[in-house]
């Protein structure tokens, strides 16, 4: 049986990925390394939900504890608008390194389930990391299972995050509201 490390961004995104891999006869080992997730309470909620879910479905989980606020923000600070590539590199490179150093045949990531991520860019970065560390990248386009996986996660009562993970993606989530508030900052108080 292939020994595959599954870099896991969160429990909800892992649902359909794990199901697909198991259907193929691959038993993934989940790997938590996400220094991009902020603030700490969000990081903790996602990590703890994954820990509980892994136990529930009897999946081995390796938690590499690294709340990387400073490292991540320093890495993306010079080009926040293009931060995703740096984020993918940080996480996929570490997953490939861990897989190579711990006897895994291959690695992949739950990031490949999201229709909101830069899929081709991630695959390119994962391939580079695979070559660098001498381990195979197990490419899977998990996106077809995204909606059903999210629905299953809701049914299971898993914590469902509202943004990608970094503090800048949370800002993007509120962009329209922030713009409205900037355009009409005192309107609410003037009408009293």
Please report the pLDDT score of residue 78 as a whole number.
87
Residue 74 annotated as binding site: no
Considering its fold, how many domains does the chain have in total?
Answer: 1
Q: Give yes or no for residue 167 having a pLDDT over 80.
A: no
Report the alpha-carbon angle 100-103-104, nearest 5: 75
For residue range 50-74, list pLDDT tens digits in order.
999 999 999 999 999 988 888 888 8
Q: Is 87 annotated as a binding residue?
A: yes
| 185 lies in some domain | no
- Which one, of 176, 142, 131, 190, lies nearest residue 8 by Cα? 142
Residue pair 142/117 in contact by the 8 Å Cβ criterion: no
Confidence of residue 2 (pLDDT cuts 50, 70, 90): confident
pLDDT digits (tens, 9 = 90+) for 129-164: 999 999 999 999 999 999 999 999 999 999 998 877
| Residue 164, annotated as binding a ligand | no
Question: 17 among the known binding-site residues?
Answer: no
Q: Residue 191's pLDDT is what?
A: 58
Q: Does pLDDT of 188 surpass 60?
A: no
pLDDT of residue 139: 98
Domain-located, residue 189: no
Residue 114's domain comprises 3-166
Residue 133, in any domain of the structure: yes
pLDDT, residue 159, reads 94
Residue 15 maps to a domain: yes
Which CATH number fits the domain that encloses residue 27?
A: 3.40.50.620
Judged by DSSP in three states, 137 sits in strand
Residue 119 above 80 pLDDT?
yes
């Amino acid at each position: 049986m292939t020994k595959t490390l599954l870099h896991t961004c969160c429990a909800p995104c892992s649902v359909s990925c794990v199901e697909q891999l198991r259907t193929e006869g691959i038993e993934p080992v989940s790997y938590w390394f996400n220094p991009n997730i902020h603030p700490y309470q969000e990081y903790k909620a996602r990590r703890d939900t994954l820990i509980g879910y892994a136990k529930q479905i009897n999946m081995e989980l390796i938690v590499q504890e690294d709340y990387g606020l400073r490292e991540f923000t320093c890495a993306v600070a010079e080009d926040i608008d293009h931060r995703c590539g740096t984020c993918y590199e940080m996480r996929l490179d570490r997953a490939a390194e861990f897989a190579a150093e711990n006897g895994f045949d291959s690695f992949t990531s739950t990031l490949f389930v999201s229709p909101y991520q830069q899929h081709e860019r991630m695959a390119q970065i994962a391939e580079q990391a695979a070559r660098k560390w001498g381990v195979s990248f197990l490419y899977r386009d998990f996106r077809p299972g995204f909606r059903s996986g999210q629905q299953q996660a809701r049914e299971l009562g898993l914590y469902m995050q509202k943004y990608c993970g970094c503090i800048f993606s949370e800002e993007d989530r509120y962009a329209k509201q922030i713009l409205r508030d900037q355009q009409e900052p005192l309107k609410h108080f003037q009408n009293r």
